Structure 1
Amino acid sequence: MGIVQLPPPVVPRSRSRPDPRALERDLRRRVNGEVRFDTGTRAVYSTDASNYRQVPIGVVVPRTTEAVAEAVAVCREHDAPLLSRGGGTSLAGQCCNTAVVIDWSKYCHRVLSVDPERRTCVVEPGIVLDDLNRRLAPHGLQYGPRPSTHANCTIGGMIGNNSCGSTAQAYGKVVDNIRRLEVLTYDGLRMWVGPTGEDELLGLAARRDRTGEIYRALRGLRDRYADEIRRRYPGIPRRVSGYNLDSLLPEHGFDVAGLLTGSESTLVTVLRAEVALVPVPGRTLLVALGFADIAAAADHVPAVLAHEPHELEAVDGRLVDFQKARHLNPEALRLLPEGRGYLMVQFAGDTAEECAERARALIDDLPDAVDSTVYADREHEHRLWMIRESGLGATAHVPGRPDTWPGWEDSAVAPDKVGPYLRDLKRLFDEFGYEGPSVYGHFGQGCVHTRIPFDMASAGGVAAMRAFVERAADLVVGYGGSLSGEHGDGQARGELLEKMFGAEIAEAFGRLKAVFDPGDRMNPGKVVAPGPLDGDLRLGAGYRPWRPGTAFAYPHDSGRFDKAALRCVGVGKCRSLEGGVMCPSYRATREEEHSTRGRARLLFEMIRNDSPVADGWRSTEVRDALDLCLACKGCKTDCPVNVDMATYKAEFLHHHYAGRLRPLSHYSMGWLPVLAAAARRVPRLVNTLTWAPLLGRAVKAAGGIAPERRPPLFAREPFVDWWRARGPRGGAAEHGEVVVWPDTFTNSFHPEIGRAAVEVLEAAGFRVKVPDRAVCCGLTWISTGQLGAARRALLRTLDVLRDDLRRGTPVVGLEPSCTAVFRADALEMLPRDPDVRRLADQTRTLAELLAERAPGWEPPAVDADAVVQRHCHQYAVMGFDADRHLMERAGMRADVLDAGCCGLAGNFGFERGHYQVSRDIAELGLLPAVRDADPGALIIADGFSCRTQIEQSGTGRTPVHLAEALAAGLRGTTPHPRRAEPPGVAVRTMVVAVAAGAAGLALSRAMARARR
């Protein structure tokens, strides 16, 4: 067919910007999806998990693959650059660009077909890996490659990055698990590609259209560069750098799908993928091997590989130290064997006996290991893997150490060279003064991960970073390795590819780019004709953030809000769809803006001095993004770097509304303790007023409360009134005194919980006290950002509790959110007050107090099944182990739900405009579990919000507090808490008027006292 004239390599184009208004107009008119060119959205998508930041032109969220094709057509007409994005967790900068970003993840996540016999399925790019594997589970199949971001990475992103993960030991990279791809070129050609036989290739190359042009050029590239490809491509398991030109070689079947895998959206847009599936292993077993150090562990990798493990990972002692310092995975860390470097070896097989035999053979073959431990149950395996999967987050912000960054986080060598390579890499760290980075990774395939304490905010620091990366590239190339073992090239390593592959292959990469994207419109500046590795930095030498004064102290961020806003590393765990608590609003909306990461990005943009988010605390973009934050605090624990968005939201609202009117709900629910104090005088009249059909609607409208919600009913006898009439019982108590905290929710709405707690504590040998003056933790003011009032409430509480605190008397919290204020928020608000420290140290949940102060007490028998909803604040701040253990000791068969947030979350679910999102969140896990519960099972929910959501969602179930279940056990009865009866709806106008007048008078007096 003659000599093929190859196109010249693509050269960098000036980053011309199309008319954004005209582009947005045409996209809105023609694309079936959401088109967003607003400042907030562009800021949210301005960076990924890398060191880079580029504000996009706009974002398209398509509803279908056809909508994507139309969006590409519009961009082509406007000569607009384009970036196709998955989960946005890339570490090399390939997921941010000054381009139109297509975000597949909200709508395009369908499984189009599954063929169990051929072990294949066809999917859309936006489907999350864990979600796909959940859908494949009934077939006994899974998609093999499993990155540590499996809970939130998309298949499209994995294809773009040629992802791997720990299971690549058994299944290979994504390129090894793709059958076919449907792709779209920037100039509009749409086709399915895959392995191509010689006859088929001849036929395709003979065509006189764009398809034929592409295949002729690809064949020409193969023929021209085949020998150099074979010579320069490293023969190692983890070569991800560069384009997969080796997929065009005859020995690899001229696989165009393989060629395009890992091309980072720089060549084509992937529309659909047919992927290969593998059987789910019948049984697995994990062996942890301890060695003197990580290099010694790496030296033993070849011996372990001889036993054909399913997965072979490594972590070093520094990673363990860092996780201990940050209180990450404490139970898992206790399971590790002795040593300072660890290999984690998983075997898979059909039977437990087969796995155990292979584990014994491995241990016998490694007598010089310091120690070894075998874990044969899924729970312990999961905990151990969490140590490895937490690597990025655990090494990013270590207390007392400088922040660390990617940039050389992903190098790879042959597995038998990892030990020597690590020793040389450490010498390079020492030469540049980068003290003690942790190293870990997929040592079974020679892939080494680390984060380095680069100084990214000064000219000297950036220059040193560049010099180090160039030297490290020379080092890994000298070992015959790869710049990237799974994270890709992007901008971080694009300009170093010639060091690894040589000038001829670098030229081939440029020609390949020209075959598919001659105009350099697909993710320009990445891989080919790349921007400099020290350009477009998120910080950089000119970074001068705004450092505002704050109400909270931010002790974990050097007392600076700008550092707190920079805490997010972009790993995207907040985008997971199951497990844990974070992030409920993202799970309901699948909106990046409503993920913890999206909000953190906006706060970071807010503190920059060169950002489109330019109004500081008055920013409407930040306000709108925080509007659907439930302040559940799930991110405080679930986020690998402990972003505490609830605190950031309270801080922002405090400043945003300073000196101006607030939303009505901030007055009605933020001042709930004052309203409740007023309602104590006339609870029946207030309940009548709020439940009357017409006046009730008016009251809700005046208070900014969702019309769909029923206001909670005030109790006829508050808990503190009952206590004053009853008083303490008994003389000297075996376990001493304890203060039961009368939070607003227990005191005014569910006082039976307080009475039950008193009964249990007295039975356990405590003398109970209850404060005799009005007290409040300040929770409702904190959650609505009224931090001045919250501070005053806390100071009044300290006045009341001071003597007890200084005597060491424990304080028992019954409402988890209020307890969490004492344990966490109060310390951040008043960090220098020693009594606040005492309050935090002495506050306990009921279960914690019984476990610590009365360990020998036998709880009453509660012979019942129970479905248990953990309150988010308890999950995030106090933990739930003590409650779980207490329920077990009481004989309760507790199913502790891992269903996420209830969706009500204090004031959130009551606020106008939030009802549907609140219900959608509850329907993700909690409400289906309650409906499916056995009619005789207890529903236990210690949180007022959780109980209210269940009661108001038509489940027909009335949840109880753990204290009520235990008190019923003492009495030998079934817990049936008394609730105030709804008032009758036939209310005379006079009675309502009297109620309104009395309540208003009481409220005005109470608010006047509160202000004083």
Structure 2
Amino acid sequence: MADLDVGALAGALEEAVAGEVRFDRGTRAAYSTDASNFRQVPIGVVLPRTPDDAVAAIAVAREFGAPVLSRGGGTSLAGQCTNTAVVLDFSKYCTELESVDAGARTCVVQPGIVLDVLNRRLAGTKLRFGPEPATHMNCTLGGMIGNNSCGATAQRTGKVVDNVKRLEVLTYDGTRFWCGETSDEEYAEVERHGDKRAAIYRQLRRLRDEYAGEIRRRFPDIPRRVSGYNLDSLLPEHGFDVAGLLVGSESTLVTVLRAELELVPVLPERTLVVLGYPDIATAAGAVPSILPHEPVALEGVDHKLIRDQQIKDMNPRALEELPEGRAFLMVQFAGQSTEEVDDRAHRMLAALHDTEHEADVEFLDDPERENELWQVREAGLGATAHIPGKADTFEGWEDSAVAPDRLGEYLRKLTALYQEFGYASETGPSLYGHFGQGCVHTRIPFDLYTADGVATYRRFMERAADLVASFGGSFSGEHGDGQSRGELLPKMFGEDLVTAFGRLKAVFDPGNRMNPGKVVAPARLDEHLRLGGGWAPADPQDLRFRFPDDGGSFAQAANRCVGVGRCRQHTTNGGEVMCPSYQVTGEEEHSTRGRARLLFEMLDGHGDSPVGDGWRSTEVRDALDLCLSCKGCKTDCPANVDMATYKAEFLSHHYEGRPWRRPRSDFTMGWLPAFAQLVGKLRAGKLVNALTHTPGLARLATLAAGVENREIPRFAGETLQQWFARRPPRGNGARGTVLLWPDTFTGSFHPHIGQAAVRVLEDAGWRVTMPSASVCCGLTWISTGQLGAAKRILTRTVRQLAPHLRDGGLVVGLEPSCTAVFRSDAFELFPGDHDVRRLRAQTVTLAELLTEHSPGYRPPRLDVNAIAQVHCHQHAVLGWDADEQLLKAAGVDAEHLDSGCCGLAGNFGFEKGHLGVSEACAERVLLPRVREAEPGTAVLADGFSCRTQLHQLDSGGREGVHLAELLDFALSKGGPR
């Protein structure tokens, strides 16, 4: 590698490849790790546009002798997706479903297609690809093939290897062919050609014949054996299946160009039975009694996983559905009718009755409730990482598997091993997994920060491997070996079969250029660690935000990302927001994960980072440029990465001492509240509007402001505070006094919303007060990273609100982004300030005030349909449950759009270079859904940004309305309560 001419390699790839060739420092940093404990900075990254493009890329790599790593969604937990190699990322362009044969129940796909996308495209055939890992929303089929993935549905459909008919593959030397099961006649035909493919097949048959006895003797006969190479697929009883052999080979043998997949019928009806047991080993002991009833999924979770989710406020409604117990089995039945699946569930329960396996039972056949509970299990990896008040947990021994009838015994011994090594406590680690197939997942509080901790981690891994081997189990049940477990394979298979693995590697890749150091001749399990005893990041001490959930450490905050890739989903689900820029661009650097990796590398903990320029890093700045600061990741990311806060902190330091380098829009947009206050005091709104909306002058205004050529929002002629000051108090104030917060956007641009809110609040029995002085939450300064000014402004605001707060008064926010500052950002800037803490606790939304603090309140009836674009900050910080409850009580049938971010996101959509992304975000779901809505359907949009985006883009002439306007409209009509 030392003599590799990287510049010449990059140039040759750019000439040969139609796709994108990225050898820049930012891209290399973003791809330096996967979801594992390991880190290796790639040589460069290629995004092929077609499978043929990948062939061209490998030809160039071969010319230079450069190693190659094919990567899917980058969520591997064992280190197989990180290497000092040319990384081929198929996930941006090679995403086609090329053909479907519904009669044969097969389809042909390119390797970059995401599983959920594939199954959506297959929906019309009533078929689907069976295996479904927890990362189904972002894992690619190529990655699943590389890992031999499974998921909960493997209880019914088996592993990926059981669902692949043929593969089109490419070896490093350029040999390209389709492969699958091979009859003797087909083998003879291959041999007849006498080409490189024939040589490969000949060597494979010799290898099979030589090791057949040892394969049958040493390969674990269990449902979840994923460790090692699939030499058993070559046995006559498996049809000399070369495709099966290559599944799970982790890019160490070939590059997969296409796959012909076997599909299974969709079972439309399902029911879920949740069984509660006193402990996880007892729950596991019940598995053999349940399996004869043929559930399609049989999952186990312990009380520690439940507790971790409660601490992180994940899936709260679902957790309420659980039966009594400290461990749970989730047993799902599926079929063609409700009667069929319910009958099978009842027969299982009857069989368990009056046996030692009888349990407390929760029976669910409501799909919505089932999905909520299923999310409890799928959230396992993220839920057990970075728990407040607990040590960090890590993968490594997160994927072991044994025979299901020995699972209870194994869990008892594994728990004893935890105790022996000091890893066990009441707070962790949790145990969960695919219990119906004996597969156990966990994250362990390894100390990967010190040399002694790493040494203890190694000793534990060796002992755990001995334990599983003694059970005839597998080190990996679905995640693969990679670097975590490759070194341990002799304990499981013996030296002879490990030698066979090496010989197999030599058949396909004699020069060891395909993902070297994984599975065969692996790097040590304590080598190339992302952390490790030598990790010494430059952890800044002069932070503006205090990062209270990360011990005040920016390094720990940047290290939050566990690589699960939830931010790389291609559609939003259940109202999720994260990550709008990735959904538009498909770029790793524009995902929350990619940006977190860059921030981690920026701190240069290993001294070899490609972006080791600290706060001045242009690569980090460029990656953060398309972050919309939507805060969706704060809630949607299972590790609660808050990229909006990280971006603000970074920008504050990046431009410190050199304000002239800031974009002009930082000043025009960041200081907008100050300008708005001046316009209001001078009552100059009409004059400013005339200047900014006159053709010619309007364009000059946007050029001078350094913003996109968009319509500048119109100022109101009278601010909300001016209107309120001249209006006498009304209402009896029977419920007390509440302070209505006059945020800049409501107060200076849309005061009619504040006026409506005052009328609604007074009607509900509240006396309304409002600050008379100029006040601001500092939001625009925060979002542009001008945190010094933001802290000064916020300090003045809190000082003015302090008397009201100390008397226990509530503050009602109408603009979600400003309300979220009081509920989140202010505390993170001033965690020790008692008035800030009061502000955090006593700030409520309009809906929260009317539902949670106004007992007996009944809203006026509206009886209309509505579609709701929930503001990103409301989703991430405030929640929409109270709004949903209030709307329902008012007779509003509201559809919560799965639209994600509207794309304007405060200042983002106005900033130079962002218009395309801003419009693309809106066109994904929001604008099409608004255009197709029935006449008379209200478009509910509490956020000023959302309403502005709807007003300025093609929304079919529809305007967004605030909740306060809806309720005020009902009042004006005198609707019944």
TM interval, short-chain normalised: over 0.9
Secondary structure at the residue paired with 1:884? Answer: helix
Aligned to 1:691: 693
Give, in whole Å, the separation in 1 of the partners of 2:9 and 2:784. Answer: 39
Contact 2:279 2:327 in 1 (8 A): yes
Structure 1 counterpart of 2:811, one-letter code: V
What's the counterpart of residue 743 of structure 1? 743
Task: Name which of 387, 398, 414 aligns with 2:403.
Answer: 414
> What is the aligned partner in structure 2 of residue 726 from structure 1?
727
State the alpha-carbon separation in 1 of the partners of residues 552 and 309 from structure 2.
22
Q: Counterpart of 1:271 in structure 2: which amino acid?
A: L
Post-superposition shift, 1:219?
Answer: 0.8
**Which of 356, 362, 381 does residue 370 from structure 2 map onto?**
381
**What is the CA-CA distance between 1:356 and the residue it aligns to?**
1.2
Shift of 1:202: 2.1
SS in 2 for 1:693: coil
Q: Distance between the aligned counterparts of 2:517 and 2:267, measured in 1?
A: 42
CA contact (8 A) 2:301 2:432 kept: yes
The answer for the alignment partner of 1:425 in structure 2 is 414
Cα displacement (A) at 1:443: 0.4
> How many Å separate the matches in 1 of 2:696 and 2:268?
61
**Could you say if the C-alpha distance between residues 886 and 17 of structure 1 is closer, same or farther in structure 2, counting changes exceeding 3 Å?**
farther
Q: Is the 8 A contact 1:349 1:355 kept in 2?
A: yes
2:596 is the counterpart of 1:600 = yes
* Corresponding position of 1:37: 23
Q: Which residue matches 2:394?
A: 405
Residue 555 (structure 2) aligned to one of 543, 553, 562: 562
Query: SS at 1:335's partner residue?
Result: coil
Report the equivalent of 1:859.
Answer: 859
CA distance in 2, matches of 1:865, 1:762: 26
Residue type of the alignment partner of 1:504: D
Aligned match of 1:703: 705
Quote the residue 2:587 is aligned against.
591
Asked if structure 1 preserves the Cα contact closer than 8 Å seen for 2:731 and 2:766, the reply is no
Pick from 312, 334, 337 the counterpart of residue 326 of structure 1: 312
Taking the aligned partners of 2:627 and 2:586, their CA distance within structure 1 comes to: 13
Residue 633 of structure 1 aligns to which amino acid in structure 2? K
Partner of 1:127: 113
Aligned amino acid, residue 446 of structure 1: G
Return the letter of the residue paired with 2:554: F
What is the CA distance between 1:326 and its match in structure 2? 1.3
Matched, 1:573 2:566: yes
Supply the AA of the counterpart residue of 1:685.
L
Q: Is the 8 A contact 2:867 2:938 kept in 1?
A: yes
- Give the C-alpha shift of residue 727 in structure 1: 3.3
2:501 maps to 1:499: no
Output the TM-score relative to the length of structure 1.
0.94
Structure 1 window deviating more from structure 2 (361-370 vs 790-799): it is 361-370
Deviations 1:729-763 (A, max 9, x none): 134x2211111100000001111100000011011
Give the secondary structure class of the aligned counterpart of 1:306.
helix
Match of 1:642 in 2: 640
Find the residue that maps to 1:163 and give its secondary structure.
coil
289, 302, 320: which is aligned to 2:288? Answer: 302
**Which residue of structure 1 lines up, in the alignment, with residue 884 of structure 2?**
884
Residue 494 of structure 2 aligns with an amino acid whose one-letter code is G
Query: In the TM superposition, what whole-angstrom CA distance separates every residue of 1:683-708 from its partner, at most 9, and x where no partner exists?
Result: 1110111112222112111212101x
1:25 aligned partner? 11
Letter in 2 for 1:805: L
Distance across 2 between alignment mates of 1:261 and 1:587: 29
CA distance in 1, matches of 2:533, 2:47: 34
What are the equivalent positions in structure 2 for 1:56-455 lying under 5 Å apart? 56-367=42-353, 368-435=357-424, 436-455=428-447
Q: Match of 1:720, SS?
A: helix
Q: How does 1:816-827 map to 2 (within 5 A)?
A: 816-827=816-827
CA distance in 2, matches of 1:18, 1:59: 16
Comparing 810-819 and 654-663, the one that deviates more: 654-663
Q: Which amino acid aligns with 1:400?
A: G
Q: Structure 2: which amino acid aligns with 1:373?
A: E
Deviation track 1:249-281 (CA, whole Å, cap 9, x = no partner) reads: 111011111000000000000001110111111
Name the CA distance, whole Å, in 2 between partners of 1:935 and 1:603: 47
Asked whether the 8 Å contact 1:473–1:483 carries over to 2, the reply is yes
Q: CA deviation at 1:16?
A: 4.7
- Residue 208 of structure 1 deviates from its aligned partner by 2.0
1:973 is displaced (CA, Å) by: 8.1
C-alpha distance in structure 2 between counterparts of 1:455 and 1:809, whole Å: 46
Letter in 1 for 2:123: A
Structure 2 CA distance, aligned partners of 1:798 and 1:462? 46
Structure 1: how far apart are the matches of 2:696 and 2:3? 56
The answer to whether the Cα contact below 8 Å between 1:447 and 1:485 also exists between their aligned partners in 2 is: yes
Residues 459-484 of structure 1 show CA distances to partners (whole Å, capped at 9, x for unaligned) of 11111101100110000000000010
> What is the aligned partner in structure 2 of residue 714 from structure 1?
715
Kept after mapping to 2: 8 A contact 1:706/1:911: yes
Distance in 1 between residues matched to 2:655 and 2:965, nearest whole Å = 40
Deviation at 1:841, TM superposition (A): 0.4
CA displacement 1:124-156 (0-9 Å, x = unmatched): 100100011111111111110000000000000
Q: What stretches of structure 1 move > 3 A for 4+ residues in a row?
A: 367-370
* Superposition CA RMSD, Å: 1.0
Q: In the alignment, is residue 770 of structure 1 matched against residue 762 of structure 2?
A: no
- The answer as to 2:526 corresponding to 1:537 is no
After TM superposition, the score normalised by the length of structure 2 is: 0.97
Distance in structure 1 (CA, Å) of the matches to 2:29 and 2:728: 58
Range with greater deviation from structure 2 (607-616 or 272-281)? 607-616
The share of aligned pairs that are identical, in percent, is: 64
- Residue equivalent to 2:509: 517
Secondary structure of 2:122's counterpart equals: helix
- SS of 1:322's equivalent in the other structure is helix
> Quick one: distance in 2 between partners of 1:113 and 1:855?
59
Matched-pair contact (CA < 8 Å) for 1:63–1:107:
yes
Paired residues, number: 958
| 3-state SS of paired residue (1:59) | strand
Q: Deviations over 1:603-639 (max 9, x none)?
A: 0001124112111111001000000000000000000
Give structure 1 stretches of 5+ with no counterpart. 1-14, 975-1012
* Partner-residue secondary structure (3-state), 2:28: helix
Q: Is the 8 A contact 1:207 1:213 kept in 2?
A: no
Q: Deviations over 1:838-896 (max 9, x none)?
A: 10100000000001121311101112110110000000001100000100000011111
- Kept in 2, the 8 Å contact 1:17–1:80? The answer is no
The DSSP-based 3-state class of the residue aligned with 1:861 is coil
**Which one-letter code corresponds to 1:286 in the other structure?**
L
Q: Quote how far apart the aligned CAs of 1:719 are.
A: 0.9
Give distance in 1, aligned partners of 2:3 and 2:295: 51
Contact 1:581–1:638 (CA under 8 A) maintained in structure 2: yes
Range 351-360 or range 57-66, more displaced = 351-360
Q: 1:163 to 1:133 in 2, by over 3 A?
A: same
Tell me, what secondary structure is at the counterpart of 1:635? Answer: helix
The corresponding residue for 1:753 is 753
Counterpart-to-counterpart distance in 2, 1:390 and 1:282:
24
1:191 aligned counterpart, secondary structure = strand
* CA deviation after TM superposition for structure 1 residue 17, in Å: 5.4
Secondary structure, aligned partner of 1:444 = helix
In the alignment, structure 1 residue 970 sits paired with structure 2 residue 956? no
What corresponds to 1:989 in structure 2? none
8 Å contact kept, 1:238–1:412: yes
Structure 2: segments with no counterpart, 5+ residues: none
Give SS of 1:726's match. Answer: coil
Query: 1:986 corresponds to which residue?
Result: none
Following the alignment from structure 2 to structure 1, what is the Cα–Cα distance between the partners of residues 603 and 873? 28
Mapped partners of 1:251, 1:889: distance in 2? 64
Match of residue 8 from structure 1: none
